[in-house]
Amino acid sequence: MKLAAKPPVLSTLAADLRIIFERDPAARNWLEVLFCYPGLQAILCHRGAHWLWNRGVPFLPRLISHLARFFTGIEIHPGAQLGKGLFIDHGMGVVIGETAIIGDFCLIYQGVTLGGTGKESGKRHPTLGENTVVGAGAKVLGNLQIGNNVRIGAGSVVLRDVPSDCTVVGIPGRIVYRSGVRVDPLDHGQLPDSEAKVIRTLLDRIEALEQQVQALQAEPPKTRELVLVTHCQESDSALDDRATTSCRLDDRAIQEYLDGSGI
């Protein structure tokens, strides 16, 4: 005998509850989750308010949203579209704008803002793909497209679209591609530090240049002039080659940092 499929509302509710037990080791039983998790309570209130909003009911959806904000500290506009299995962990200070769209099985921590920039009308809030993780205090501003399986580091400010399967860190956020690498959504200790990598690369280059200068200073004057002329000729040739080739291996960190600028 084939079992009847669950109604969409019950299926979504089951996913909202199940994801908490999968991602929060502190969740012990259903009663505790239902009554003591403000993220779940805010989502349940929003789903009712969103249903009324879609049917054109005036005032009441906004009132439900306001009361939910008062009791949970989480502000979700009734016009926002939330996928199933969304988990808002802790949640205090989370703000989700009217035209925001959040995909299935996303994880959002406290202090996150999915907001607008104040310069747009219509669709003015972000769209998050599936399995996206937004770290504590991160800000995603504007009508942005955030791909699937994206991790946004705590405190990052995202101002441009982000492709799937990458990590975003910094202010403004910069992307680090992680395609093909499966990461734990709860593992926030493995976020890369692209700025430190670039600074380390530049320091190594400065040290190498200082060694070259010291070597030139140790040469006799005539030999030094010959070395300088030869070096200038080699530099001109290298510049011509670089115009048609990609950056050197030791420049890769710098190039990736600049490519991710502003994300």
- Write out pLDDT tens, residues 198-233: 676 677 777 778 777 877 777 776 665 655 556 655
Residue 244 structure tokens: 């048609």
Residue 2 lies in a domain: no
Burial label, 135 (beta-carbon count in 10 A; 0-12, 13-18, 19+): buried
CATH number of residue 112's parent domain:
2.160.10.10
Same domain, 33 and 68: yes
**Which pLDDT tens digit goes with each residue over 124-182?**
999 999 999 999 999 999 999 999 999 998 889 999 899 888 888 888 888 776 655 55
Residue 178 lies in a domain: yes
For 78-110, the DSSP string reads TT-EE-TT-EE-S-TT-EE-TT-EE-TT-EE-T
- Helix (H) / strand (E) element for 258: namely helix 252-259
Same domain, 79 and 198: no
Same domain, 184 and 119: yes
Residue 1 lies in a domain: no
Q: Give the C-alpha separation, 217 to 147, whole Å.
A: 54
**Which pLDDT does position 79 carry in this prediction?**
95
Same domain, 152 and 206: no
- pLDDT grade for 244, boundaries at 50, 70 and 90: very low
Same domain, 161 and 209: no
**Which pLDDT tens digit goes with each residue over 33-78?**
889 899 999 999 999 999 999 999 999 999 999 999 999 999 999 9
Where a domain ends, among 190, 208, 229? 190
**Which pLDDT does position 211 carry in this prediction?**
78
Residue 38 lies in a domain: yes
Residue 227 lies in a domain: yes
End-to-end CA distance of the chain: give it in Å, rounded: 52
- pLDDT grade for 23, boundaries at 50, 70 and 90: confident
Residue 29 structure tokens: 């039983």
Same domain, 147 and 185: yes
38 and 71 in contact (C-beta within 8 Å)?
Answer: yes
Domain count, the chain: 2
Same domain, 183 and 218: no
**Which pLDDT does position 210 carry in this prediction?**
79
Residue 3 lies in a domain: no
Same domain, 173 and 218: no
Q: Give the C-alpha separation, 121 to 125, whole Å.
A: 10
Same domain, 167 and 251: no
Same domain, 177 and 199: no
Global pTM? 0.71
Residue 31 lies in a domain: yes
Residue 66: give the domain boundaries.
Answer: 8-190
